[in-house]
């Protein structure tokens, strides 16, 4: 069986960004801008991104996605952590020990040294679902809220053990923390695993059998961290790995804009229509009154025209008429070049504008789409319609203005009205801070 070997450590290391030089003009101008612009000094031209930028290139990138979530799932907030053909969004010390088969299964052979494959970004409260298959007598596990390099399961993570033959911590236990509440058998066949992490409460089900129920009363519960897949004996395989963020707070729930304010000088209109925010005309920005530092954001949007342009800005400095949108921008633009969704226009929906392009455009105009944004320190990951579109680390020098450098400080979130042709709707905008 043919297998693809994916080197994923480079995802964490490659910045994928343009040169440090940024224009000093107000934010929001893009190559597709159609509105007349006032005269101003020409911005300094940024250099092209390096051709070796691994955050935008996948091995054997297919013409179509083999494992896109059903529409009802991504509209409900689910995302794929594993795309079914690459290790984009994952990292391991020895990535060569993890393979992706032609059937879209993630495997690690039993003759390899133990290894843990980790998500590149942390998660706080969530529901995790996956299918796994482990050799009889094998040893695997799911690391929950883990440090990047866990060494002590009693302190560094919650290790949900998958090992029927373990002497102390059998399948369903949390290693060094808790025994399972039901006896289960997980070796030899495909099984479905469901995990809930909510506050200090960890629960898990194997094929609908409630096997894990643990409240961390230690006084030092782990509230956020990465998710890891372990191979520690025997061949293990995983597929259908998906996650839904939980404990999300509405920024817009369909009724009012009381959590938002229009940036001075905006030409756009932002009106509540049929439980959505309708954005028209431009340029202009609607920003949150509150600021956010590390967070997971989800929003649904529908562009009511062909190739129209918007964006979700984050960690933005409070907007003024002169500088309305000094922040990072998660692009909202469904167009692509040459009839190929792997060639996004203006970085594509889910790209970080002027930093890293979306891997491909999976969203469509005239339809509801979803964006998920995970902002953790200087690491940003995005998903559109459940498909991971970007995984970028900002390695620039610190700067208050994200246009000029890395900003870890909290900032506003704002919705962009791009130009006079703007016509789109946002709905169900929710956010959850990333706990430390």
The 3-state secondary structure of 265-309 reads: CCCCEEEEECCEEEEECCCEEEEECCCECCEEEEEEEEECCCCCC
Same CATH topology for 71-245 and 250-433: the answer is yes
The predicted structure's pLDDT at residue 38: 32
C-alpha–C-alpha distance, residues 363 and 424, integer Å: 14
Fold assignment, 71-245: Jelly Rolls (2.60.120)
CA distances to 199, 208, 363, 408 from 292, rounded to whole Å, are 20, 37, 26, 10
Dihedral of the alpha carbons of 52, 54, 55, 58, in degrees to the nearest 10:
120
Predicted structure pTM score: 0.88
The span from the first CA to the last CA of the chain, in angstroms, equals 43
Answer yes or no: is pLDDT of 53 > 90: no
How confident is residue 110, by pLDDT bands cut at 50, 70 and 90?
confident
Domain boundaries, the chain: 71-245, 250-433
Name which residue leads in pLDDT, 111 or 218. Answer: 218
**In the numeric block, which tokens belong to residue 149?**
């390099």
- pLDDT, one tens digit per residue, over 160-192 is 999 999 999 999 999 999 999 999 999 999 999
What's the pLDDT tens digit per position in 119-129?
999 999 999 99
Residue 30 phi/psi, 5° resolution? -135, 170
Band of pLDDT at residue 159, cut at 50, 70 and 90: very high
Is the separation of the CB atoms in 44 and 18 below 8 Å? no
Report the distance separating Cα 345 and Cα 385, nearest Å: 18
Grade residue 436 by pLDDT with cuts at 50, 70 and 90: low
> What DSSP assignment string belongs to 361-372?
----TTS-EEEE
Cα four-point dihedral sign 65, 66, 72, 73: negative
Output the pLDDT for position 215. Answer: 98
Between residues 22 and 142, the one the model is more confident about: 142
Q: What is the average pLDDT score of the chain?
A: 88
Q: Which two tokens stand for residue 60?
A: 């054997």
3-class state of residue 10 by DSSP? helix
Degrees to nearest 5, angle at CA 283 with 279 and 284: 60
Mean pLDDT of 43-63: 41
Task: Give 29-42 pLDDT, tens digit per residue.
Answer: 443 333 333 332 33
**pLDDT of the residue at 46:** 32
If pLDDT is split at 50, 70 and 90, which confidence band does 4 have?
very low
Q: What's the pLDDT band for 222 if we cut at 50, 70, 90? A: very high
Beta-strand (E) ranges in 325-384?
A: 328-332, 369-376, 379-384
Using pLDDT thresholds of 50, 70 and 90, give the confidence band for residue 59. Answer: very low
What local confidence, expressed as pLDDT, does residue 56 receive?
33
- Tell me: the pLDDT tens digits for 189-200? 999 999 999 999
Q: Could you tell me how many residues make up the chain?
A: 436
Mean of the pLDDT values across residues 201-209?
A: 97
Whole-number pLDDT of residue 309: 96
pLDDT at 34: 33
Residue 50 has pLDDT above 60, yes or no: no
pLDDT digits (tens, 9 = 90+) for 299-327: 999 999 999 999 999 999 999 999 999 99
Task: Say if CB 19 and CB 46 are below 8 A apart.
Answer: yes
The pLDDT of 101-126, averaged and rounded, is 94
The CATH number of 250-433, from 3.40.50.720, 3.40.718.10, 3.50.50.60, 2.60.120.560, is 2.60.120.560
- Is 50 exceeded by the pLDDT of residue 27? no
Asked if residue 18 has pLDDT above 70, the reply is no
| CA 99, chain centre distance (Å) | 22
Helix (H, G, I), strand (E, B) or coil at 56: helix
CA 40 to chain centre: 36
* pLDDT value of residue 60: 59
Mean pLDDT of 69-84: 97
Q: What is the pLDDT of residue 13?
A: 35
433 Cβ neighbours under 8 A, 6+ residues apart: 124, 292, 293, 294, 295
235-277: per-residue pLDDT in tens?
999 999 999 999 999 999 999 999 999 999 999 999 999 999 9
């Amino acid at each position: 069986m043919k297998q693809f070997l994916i080197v994923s450590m480079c995802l964490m290391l490659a910045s994928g960004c343009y040169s440090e030089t940024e224009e000093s003009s107000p934010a929001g101008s893009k190559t597709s801008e159609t509105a007349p612009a006032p005269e101003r000094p020409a911005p300094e031209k940024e250099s092209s991104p390096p051709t070796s930028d691994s955050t935008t290139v996948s091995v054997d990138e297919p013409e179509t996605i083999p494992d896109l979530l059903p529409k009802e799932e991504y509209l409900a907030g689910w995302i794929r952590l594993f795309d079914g053909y690459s290790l984009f969004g994952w990292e391991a010390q020895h990535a060569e020990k993890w393979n992706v088969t032609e059937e879209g299964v993630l495997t690690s052979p039993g003759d390899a040294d133990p290894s843990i494959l980790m998500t590149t970004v942390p998660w706080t409260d969530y529901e995790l679902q996956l299918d796994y298959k482990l050799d009889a007598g094998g040893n695997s596990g799911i690391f929950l809220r883990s440090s990047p390099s866990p060494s002590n399961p009693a302190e560094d993570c919650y290790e949900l053990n998958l090992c029927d033959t373990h002497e102390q911590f059998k399948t369903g236990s949390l290693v060094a923390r808790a025994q399972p509440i039901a006896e289960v058998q997980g070796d030899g066949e495909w099984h479905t695993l469901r995990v809930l992490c909510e506050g200090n409460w960890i629960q898990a089900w194997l094929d609908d059998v409630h096997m894990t129920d643990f409240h961390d009363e230690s006084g030092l519960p782990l509230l956020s961290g990465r998710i890891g897949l372990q191979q520690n004996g025997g061949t293990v395989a995983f597929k259908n790995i998906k996650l839904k963020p939980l404990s999300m707070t509405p920024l817009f729930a369909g009724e009012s804009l009381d959590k938002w304010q229009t940036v001075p000088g905006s030409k756009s209109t932002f009106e509540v229509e049929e439980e959505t925010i309708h954005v028209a005309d431009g340029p202009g920005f609607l920003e949150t009154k509150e600021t956010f530092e590390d967070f997971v954001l989800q929003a649904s949007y529908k562009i009511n025209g062909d190739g129209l342009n918007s964006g979700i800005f984050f960690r933005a400095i409070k907007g003024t008429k002169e500088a309305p949108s000094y922040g990072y921008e998660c692009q909202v633009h469904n167009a692509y070049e040459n009839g190929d969704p792997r060639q996004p226009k203006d970085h594509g929906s889910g790209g970080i504008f002027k930093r890293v392009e979306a891997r491909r455009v999976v969203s469509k105009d005239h339809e509801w789409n979803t964006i998920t944004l995970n902002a953790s320190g200087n690491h940003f990951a995005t998903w559109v319609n459940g498909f991971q579109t970007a995984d970028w680390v900002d390695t620039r020098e610190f700067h208050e203005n994200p246009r000029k450098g890395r900003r870890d400080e909290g900032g506003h979130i704002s919705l962009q009205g791009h130009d006079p042709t703007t016509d789109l709707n946002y709905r169900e905008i929710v956010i959850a801070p990333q706990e430390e």
